[in-house]
Amino acid sequence: MIKILTYLLFLSCVQIYAAHVPPIEKNNQQARFKVNSFYKLTDWDTLVFKGDYFKVTDDRDEKSLTFEYRHRIHNNFKIGGYGTYLVGKRYDDDWVKSPTWKWADTQSRSEFLIGANVSYKKLISFVKNSIFELRYTNEHNSRNSHNHSILRPGFTKVFFNQGKALINYYFQYELIIPTNYSDETISEQWIYTGFTWHLSRRFKPGVFVQKGVGKWTTSDEYSRSHTDTYSQDHKYTVLGISLNIYL
């Protein structure tokens, strides 16, 4: 009898706890559409305009516009600075009690990010027409003052047909490392893989798949009313379409 009561008490505690923390999100299969346009000012300077629509879950999406300036400082190195206008992104601190614990509706919330990056590219000698790239980015959110670093190694192979570039295959791995938020050292990890087709010198459409895993960690509001913490998984599988335009 005592065992049954203890077990029932345990179950009720688990249920109460579960209602107070974000639900685990797993294997959402969602969609993304990206447009990137590149304008070469000089042989060394490029302006980049990006639009991104990311259907993150059935009831949530993120939209962004980015403007970036890139400068090639060396055959293998580029540096860049950018600003992004972002709408709809969710963060740890959006887990609030209103009146029950739930995610705040961030669909119409806009914010501005600024970032700087450096990328290194090298031709891979043992794989013809292939490039290794490592990009390091530091990003700051002006709304919530979040800072994080993004480390992204990648591989691209360009397939040629009779001397003309035909199609690229690429693979990238991305780590998002918060520097002043989150209880986790790595808040998100993503892998991207896809193909870009050299339709013409100006237009290069592509398709890609990305898989990501991240953690929702204790929100400010939760930590003010609880002594425990949480760390909940969220996983995504995304099918995407991209379009690169070279002006």
Partner 1 sequence: MTLLLISNIQAQNIGKVLFSKGEVFFKKSKDSKATSVKKGLSFSDKSIFKTGKGALVVLALNSGSKIKVNQNSQLIVSKEASGLTKGSSFFEILKSKVRKNKKIKYRVKTKHASMGVRGTQFFVSLGNKNDSWMCVNEGLVEVKSKDNKTVLVKEGEGVKVAQTVSDPKPLPWTKRLNWEMVGNEKEIENKVNIEDAYQDLLDQDYD
- The nearer residue to partner 1, 4 or 247, going by C-beta atoms, is 247
Burial of 108 per CB tally in 10 Å (0-12, 13-18, 19+): exposed
Give the start-end residues of each E strand in 41-105. Answer: 45-57, 60-74, 77-87, 95-97, 101-103
Would you state the structure tokens that stand for residue 220, as one six-digit string?
A: 């400010």
Amino acid residing at 114: I
Q: Out of 2, 27, 164, 224, which residue is the one contacting partner 1 (CB under 8 A)? A: 164
* Backbone φ, ψ for residue 12 (5° rounding): -65, -35
Q: What is the DSSP string of 164-216?
A: EEEEEEEEEEEEEEESSS-SSS--EEEEEEEEEE--SSSEEEEEEEEEEEEEE
165 near partner 1, judged by CB under 8 A: yes
Q: How far is the CB of 75 from partner 1 (least distance, A)?
A: 6
Q: Out of 122, 143, 202, 235, which residue is the one contacting partner 1 (CB under 8 A)? A: 122
Task: Specify the stretch interacting with partner 1 by CB under 8 A; choose among 13-21, 93-101, 104-112, 117-125.
Answer: 117-125
Q: Which of residues 32-61 bind partner 1 (CB under 8 A)?
A: 34, 36, 38, 46, 48, 50
Q: Which of residues 227-246 bind partner 1 (CB under 8 A)?
A: 242, 244
118 near partner 1, judged by CB under 8 A: no
- The nearer residue to partner 1, 117 or 182, going by C-beta atoms, is 117
Q: Which of residues 179-198 bind partner 1 (CB under 8 A)?
A: 196
